[in-house]
Amino acid sequence: MLPRRGPASGGTAVLTGTPQTMILSRIRLGNFRNHAATAIELGGGINAFLGDNGQGKTNILEAVSYLSLTKSFYASGDSEAIEIGTGGFDVEGVLVSDAGVQHQVSVTCARLPQAKRFLINGSPPERLAAVIGRFPVVVLSPEKGPITFGGPGERRKFMDLALSQVSGAYLEEILEYRKALRQRNRILTNNRAKGFLPPGVIEPWTESLVAYGSRVAHRRAMFVTDLRSHIVSAYRTIMPEAETPDIAYVCGFAAGEGADARAYAASLSADLETRSTEERRRGLTLAGPHRDDLLLTINGMNVQRFASHGQHKTLLVAMKIAEYSYMQERHNETPMLLLDDVFSELDKGRVHRILSFAAGLGQVMITATEGTVFGSSIAWGRQNRRFIVERGTCRQET
């Protein structure tokens, strides 16, 4: 176990020299990927993890993701993170809030029987969803690339994670919406197979779908409106040339700019009524925020169709910086920023501007194959630390 500071109960001790931003002060990885036993003391500023590919740099950031989001940003399942030949992994960390309150957080996962256990100060949360947003984090990695060049589902995930970390109400609404959607689709699928829909069976789920779906769409629309200026500002910080990005919420049952949740509910209800016959024929819910998207443009041109590889990557970085700024404004904790393999394929000018921006934030964790990418942008010391990662081990470079 990681050593404690303060009372054994945790979550109450105010540390000497209270940080102004939330930080992860220590982390330990046990049988996690290729890390058999790795312990790291982190700085409150930039933490750079350097090493060749395949040595375990990304795995450290992945472990941080488990402490903040209860899951990996990298793998599709928990079992993938267990070191080969072992029965399970454990990750422990000490997170210190903006107010200086210390929290001991741990997550363990067994291979057989497959089970995951999450503890905060020795106690399990009521449910894993309750952890989301408590220790906010923004992740930028190659796995996030589909946000700009992939399908609509990737952009919905982007919106949902950002909103869920700043709004417990949104998290409840999206979970309830997904539940209603699953039940409604099951009923429609059975109807398609049997050719019969009993009276009164689908109506309660339709009402629930409309109630929660309208709130989800309304919150997403407001989120996109608020995020737009952050994206423009971040993009111009990275690439000062004359390019202007934009973002728009594409909602199939849009109620008009500035509409409230009631207007979205009326629009969604009408759309479902119009599509009811087709829904029964296809056995599928055809209206709702599960079908929405984000329209991304640069100088008015559709990013998915016309953007270069460099524009895709620059826009993705700008969107993640914008997400960080949005969360920082609306959360009572400063997010951690995880940057995994961000600098490959970017020119030195953009790398320097990203690093200059990151240096003014809270705690940032960055992976890179070469330390030279940092140049003289960072003053290394107590706050900003460099680590060498090699064959599943990590040591601080002094």
Query: Which tens digits make up the pLDDT trace of 20-30?
Result: 689 999 999 99
pLDDT at site 347: 85
Pick the residue with more confidence: 332 or 289? 289
pLDDT at site 186: 96
Pick the residue with more confidence: 177 or 12? 177
User: Residue 1 pLDDT more than 80?
Assistant: no
Residue 364 parent element (H or E): strand 364-368
Using CA atoms, how far apart are residues 273 and 275, in angstroms rounded to an integer? 5
368 burial (CB, 10 Å; 0-12 / 13-18 / 19+) is buried
Pick the residue with more confidence: 247 or 255? 247
**C-alpha R_g of the chain:** 23
pLDDT at site 14: 42
Pick the residue with more confidence: 48 or 242? 48
pLDDT band at 11 (very low <50, low <70, confident <90, very high): low
CA 161 to chain centre: 5
Query: Which tens digits make up the pLDDT trace of 270-325?
Result: 999 999 999 999 999 999 999 999 999 999 999 999 999 989 999 999 999 999 99
Query: Which tens digits make up the pLDDT trace of 174-232?
Result: 999 999 999 999 999 998 888 878 889 999 999 999 999 999 999 999 999 999 999 99
pLDDT at site 300: 95
* Whole-number percent of the chain with pLDDT over 70: 95
CB 70 within 8 A of CB 87: no
Q: What's the whole-number average pLDDT of the chain?
A: 91
Which class would CATH give 1-136+333-398?
A: alpha beta
pLDDT at site 8: 35
| Structure token digits, residue 54 | 């395949």
Tell me how crowded residue 132 is: count the other CB atoms within 10 A of its CB: 18
Query: Which tens digits make up the pLDDT trace of 117-133?
Result: 999 999 999 999 999 99
DSSP tag of 13? P
User: Residue 6 pLDDT more than 50?
Assistant: no
pLDDT at site 20: 66
pLDDT band at 114 (very low <50, low <70, confident <90, very high): confident
Per-residue CA distances from 241 to 237, 301, 312 (Å): 9, 16, 15
Query: Which tens digits make up the pLDDT trace of 62-98?
Result: 999 999 999 999 888 999 999 999 999 999 999 999 9
Q: Which of 334, 335, 377 is nearest to 353 (CA)?
A: 377
Using CA atoms, how far apart are residues 31 and 33, in angstroms rounded to an integer? 6
- Tokens 């994670």 belong to residue: 161
Per DSSP, the three-state class of 156 is helix
Using CA atoms, how far apart are residues 91 and 389, in angstroms rounded to an integer? 17
Using CA atoms, how far apart are residues 12 and 31, in angstroms rounded to an integer? 30
Pick the residue with more confidence: 12 or 74? 74
Q: Which of 340, 358, 364 is nearest to 56 (CA)?
A: 340
pLDDT at site 363: 95
